[in-house]
Amino acid sequence: MSRKLIAANWKMNTTLSEAIVLANGVKSGVRELSGTDIVLCPPFPWLVPVKEALAQHPAKAIKLGAQNLFWQESGAYTGEISALMLKGLVDYVIIGHSERRKYFKESNEEIAQKITKALAAGLTPIFCVGELKKPADELLADPAGVTASKIRGILNDIDEALSEQNPNDIARVVIAYEPVWAIGAVAATAVYAERICRLITEHITKMVGGQKDITKVLYGGSANENNAADFLSQPHIDGLLVGGASLKPASFVTMCKVANQYQK
């Protein structure tokens, strides 16, 4: 659990030429970093060209990820992309992002199947969870009173999505704690995110029969170059899932550099 992971979720942004400029900007900015895992998740049509751009004078720390997959392997599923199609092309795949839950009505049951297929194809799922409603300001400032029973909804999502997996496979899943109210808005406080990430880590530890620190837990929700150190200095935050700030190479590179200072 020593390296931090910084994942860029480009969402439905960039033209092809913007994607290449962005990928090259990140690549040249992080070339010297060796202690951080960096994942770029472009839109599907740019995966191949971005992969090709990254392959020229590669920066070893950068891996590629997809933003979604479908849980069937092949067949009459117009517009969908399977884990088998992504195998060999990407190393990571975001699963269960709140925008997919919201706009495409993804359920925990579907998310569970997607995670199963991703793992079977050798991909690392970045599985997203997080509450919809902003907590009271007092709790954001002092979250000591937030207990496992108070975040039952998040833990239920984790239980349902990972119920099929054995401990070895759970260890291969990255969890992204993304409070939905903080996405594209105002970030959570680092103490609050730390509290939830710690409760998630403790929950996973129980699920895998007591093995500690086997699953990375990221924070996501308006993370940027100014607050990255606040989050990355927390003991139970193993990295960041970054939306808006990942579209600006200078901001994203700064975040990766900050992560490199906090490798455990």
Active-site residues, by number, are 97, 178
- Residue of minimal Cβ distance to ligand PGA: 243
Rounded to the nearest whole angstrom, what is the least distance from the CB of residue 180 to ligand PGA in the complex?
A: 9
Nearer CB in complex with ligand PGA: 87/134 = 134
Residue among 162, 149, 150, 78 nearest 114 (CA)? 162
**DSSP, res 87:** B
Least distance to ligand PGA, CB of residue 212, Å: 27
- How far apart CA 123 and CA 129 sit, in angstroms, is 19
Burial tier of 138 (Cβ tally within 10 Å: 0-12, 13-18, 19+): exposed
Alpha-carbon distance of 136 to 14, in angstroms, equals 36
Integer angstrom CA distances of residue 13 from 41, 92, 165, 220, 242:
11, 19, 33, 18, 13
Give pairs for 103-110: CB < 8 Å, separation 24+: 108/156, 108/157, 108/160, 108/161, 109/160, 110/71
Contact 112, 170 (CB under 8 A): no
For binding to ligand PGA (CB under 6 A), which residues are involved? 9, 178, 183-184, 220-223, 241-245
Residue 97 or 117: the one with the smaller Cβ distance to ligand PGA is 97
